[in-house]
Structure 1
Amino acid sequence: MKNILLIVIVLVSIHCTAQRGNSNVLYEKNGKIGIGTNTPDELLTVKGKIHTQEVIVDLQGAVAPDYVFEKYADGFSILKPSYQLISLPELDTFIKKHKHLPGVPSATDLDEEGMSLKEMNLLLLEKVEELTLYTLQQQKELEQLKSQVEQLSSKR
């Protein structure tokens, strides 16, 4: 299905290119297609904007960040045994030193290397799950403090 879609895109692009008489729009090299570039480095390389209604990214081989909650609920993670949620003070220190979240590429790295949508979406989901755990942790601490305040107030 994906190959058929790619062929249709290529044929439509060739047809449009031929109609406009602009032979620099579409380029093929070693089985790789370039649109707006003559140096395609992937199966399809587009130099410029792409307008679409939806993008579906296959997660082949990727580990969804269920390991965050797995570690929280079970005390260990089968999916990613090395995963460890850092403490908020450790997070604060890291952010002050590196100016970005742990595991997230720096702005310089993103400028130089770009990013994989699959990897970034999984990473952002991991960070959302970590934020959820930090919120739960803070809620528990808040409830404990409320309880202590109530106990102290009732002793008066």
Structure 2
Amino acid sequence: MGEVFRLTNNGYLYLGPSLNGAFFEDYRLYVQGSIRTERIRVDIAAQNGWADDVFEPDYRLMPIEELENYVKTHKHLPGIPSEAEVREKGIDLA
């Protein structure tokens, strides 16, 4: 069996059965294949905030007709990536 993990000198960890150079340098941890865990925690960076502002009285909701037209045209909700986009790019949980 060949190399199954690589820890680089700059702190990146890659796990998988075939570490053939297809590394994702923007990520500190890359796992080729599935991950199973009992818990995971995602911290929200201060600059990202959280979308609680949609509950404020002065938040402008999209009119229902506009929402309906958007969904009919794009086949997904506004601000939510399509299935094709998630398959291609993944989804950021933060």
TM range (shorter): 0.7 to 0.9
Equivalent residue pairs, number? 87
Deviations along 1:109-148, one digit per CA (max 9) or x if unpaired, are 1111111112xxxxxxxxxxxxxxxxxxxxxxxxxxxxxx
Q: Which 5+ residue runs of structure 2 have no aligned equivalent?
A: none
Is 1:64 aligned with 2:50? Answer: yes
Identical amino acids, percent of aligned pairs: 34
Provide TM-score, normalisation by structure 1.
0.50
Question: Counting helix residues as a fraction of each chain, which structure ranks higher?
Answer: 1
1:86 to 1:93, Cα distance in 2 relative to 1, 3 A: same
Q: Comparing 24-33 with 56-65, which one deviates more in the overlay?
A: 24-33
Deviations along 1:68-99, one digit per CA (max 9) or x if unpaired, are 111xx2x25xxxxxxx3101111110000000
Q: Which 5+ residue runs of structure 1 have no aligned equivalent?
A: 1-21, 77-83, 119-156
Amino acid at match of 1:28: L
Moved over 4 A (4+): none
Highest CA radius of gyration, 1 or 2? 1
1:49 positional shift? 1.2
| Partner Cα separation in structure 2 for residue 40 and residue 34 of structure 1 | 9
Provide TM-score, normalisation by structure 2.
0.79
1:23 positional shift? 4.2
Q: 1:43: which partner in 2?
A: 28
Q: What RMSD over aligned residues (CA atoms) do the two structures have, in Å? A: 1.7
| Partner Cα separation in structure 2 for residue 115 and residue 56 of structure 1 | 15
Higher RCO (CA 8 Å, separation ≥ 6 residues): 2
